[in-house]
Amino acid sequence: MSLLQKPWIWSWIGTLAVCLVIIGISGLGAGTQVLSAALSFGTFFVIVAIGQMFVVTLGPGNVDLSIPACMTLASTVAMKVMGGSSTMLLPGLLIAIAIGTIIGLLNFGLIRLLRIPPIIATLSSSFLFQSTAIWYNRGLRVKPPEPLADFATAKLAGVPLLAILVLVLTVIMHVILHHSLFGRAVLAVGQNSRAASLAGIKVERTRLLTYLTSAVLAAICGFFLAGFSGGAALNMGEEYLLMSIAVVVIGGTSVAGGFANLPGLWGASLFMFLLVTMLNTLGLSAGIRLILTGAIIVGVIAISGRRGRT
């Protein structure tokens, strides 16, 4: 398979093109700074998109719409429990992860026990989680502990520390996807779940683990995002709903299920951030900016045109 046929290459080509435009407008110095910012913010997209990617790979109709609510609930509870105290850091993180776990289990329970289509199950449950977050601390914005904020914003030689860690996570997930039992099972279920079950794959266990992964990653993302932006807010996850899906599909994962890749998540995350930044930098009006955003996304996809796959 040549490089140009890799499903993820187009998000990277798009990223490169947008990057060049930004450098063309604002110069190389500004360009590198923008890139550094893109890494900071793109990292958060990547975390949730990894989970979303595994879910989407399970096949048509599988998508996790509870990611924003999960981020909000996990981070508000964690921030309130920590109450800004650095000694509570670890318990806080564990609580966030525990909440992610519960949410994943709940989502799967709705899908499996009540046979609710995932898209509606996760949408419905997200309302419940959002309500719980509201009820728990009425939208008060609690500051993260100092070390968490420092950690979330730290940079190593201009590269955000968090981005490096998430890169490591990406590599691990890549290995899991392509070289582990779980990954193989997800890909199999996504292509033909009946055949997968007859080949001895534990289909339901695979689904459970997938929804669990998605929720736990969303919770972790919420935790660090709260550290990064100075507190958890009720609306902090809002844009992650569409963004997590956009990053996954622009990154070349097939919505028909059974095909996924991780390099595309980084390409698409950076692309989405840089695209908005480029249009902001050009100083266009909101309407034109939106139109161009959409047109460029469609353009990139149309050029890449995955004709081979039917």
Partner 1 sequence: DTADKRIALSNNYAGNSWRQAMLTSWETVTGQAVADGTVAAADAFTTAENQVTEQAAQIQNLILQGYDAIVINAASPEGLNGAVKEACDAGVVVVSFDGIVTEPCAWRIAVDFHEMGKVQVEYLATRLPDGGDLLEIRGLAGVFVDDAISGGIHEGVSENSQFAIKGSVHGNWAQDVSQKAVAGILPSLPEIKGVVTQGGDGYGAAQAFKAAGRDMPIIVMGNRQDELAWWKEQKDATDYQTMSVSIAPGVSTLAFWVAQQVLDGKDVPKDLTVPFLTITQDTLEDNLATTQEGGVANVEYSLEDAQSVINEAM
Partner 2 sequence: MTDRSAIVRLNGIGKSFGAVQALRDVTFHVAPGECVGLVGHNGAGKSTLMNILSGVLSPDTGELLFGDQDLAARYSVAAAKQNGLRCVYQELSLCPNLSVAENARITHPTIRGIGWRRKAATLITTWLDRIFPGHGIGPGDIVGELSIARRQMVEIARAFSATQTPVRLVILDEPTSSLDKASADQLLSFVGRFTETGGSVILISHMLGEILDSADRIVVMRDGGVVAEDATAAFDRARLVREMGSVLAEDAATPTAQARRQTDRVIVLPGENGIPLEVFKGEIVGLAGIGGQGQTDALLTLFAAANGTRNHAEITTEAAFVAGDRQTDGVFPGWSIRRNISIASIRQMVQHWLIDARKELGLAQDWQTRIGIRTEDLSNPILSLSGGNQQKVLFARALGSPAPVVLMDDPMRGVDIGTKQDVYAILKDEAAQGRSFVWYTTEMDELKHCDFVYVFRGGQVVSGLPRHQVTEANILRASFDAAAAA
Partner 3 sequence: MIARLLTPHSLRTLLPAVSLAALLAAIFYLQPRTMSYFGLNLLLNLAVPIALATVAQMFILCVNDLDLSLGAFISLTACITATWLHDTPLLGALALAGCVLAYAGLGALIHLRNLPSIVVTLGMSFVWMGIAVLILPTPGGKAPDWIRSLMTLKPALIPFPIIALVVLGGIVQIALMRSAPGVVLRGAGGNPQSVARAGWSILRVKMIMFGLAGLFGVLAGMALVGLTTSADANIALRYTLLSIAGVILGGGEFTGGRISPIGAVIGAVTLALAGSFLSFLRLNPDWQIGAQGAILILVLALRVIINRTAAKS
Binding site for ligand ATP (CB under 6 A): 178, 261
Q: Which two tokens stand for residue 126?
A: 């997200």
Contacted by 147, from partner 3, partner 1, partner 2, none: CB < 5 to 8 Å by type: none
- Rank residues 138 and 309 by Cβ distance to partner 2 and give the closer one: 309
Cα torsion 171, 175, 178, 180: sign: negative
- Encoded amino acid at 300, one letter: V
Is there binding between residue 130 and partner 3 (CB under 8 A)? yes
The backbone torsions φ and ψ at residue 7, rounded to the nearest 5 degrees and listed phi first, read -65, -20
Q: Which residue stretch of 17-25, 116-124, 198-206, 224-232 sits at the interface with partner 3 (rule: CB under 8 A)?
A: 116-124
Cα torsion 273, 274, 277, 283: sign: negative
- Rank residues 135 and 310 by Cβ distance to partner 1 and give the closer one: 135
Q: Which residue stretch of 5-13, 34-42, 111-119, 294-302 sits at the interface with partner 1 (rule: CB under 8 A)?
A: 34-42
Place of tokens 């996504």: 190
Report the alpha-carbon distance of residue 48 to residue 217 in Å, rounded.
6
Smallest separation (angstroms) from partner 1 to the CB of 42: 10
Q: Which residue stretch of 68-76, 84-92, 183-191, 235-243 sits at the interface with partner 2 (rule: CB under 8 A)?
A: 183-191
Residues 6 or more apart in contact with residue 260 via CB below 8 angstroms: 53, 54, 56, 57, 177, 186, 187, 190, 253, 254
> ∠ CA 126-128-134 to the nearest 5 degrees?
105
Q: How many residues bind partner 2 (CB under 8 A)?
A: 20
Question: For ligand ATP, which residue has the nearest CB?
Answer: 178
Contacted by 110, from partner 2, partner 3, partner 1, none: CB < 5 to 8 Å by type: partner 3
* Region 199-238 residues binding partner 3, contact defined as CB under 8 A: none
Contact (Cβ atoms closer than 8 angstroms) between residue 75 and residue 225? yes
Sites of contact with partner 2 (CB under 8 A): 175, 179-181, 184, 187-188, 191-192, 194-196, 198-202, 258-259, 309
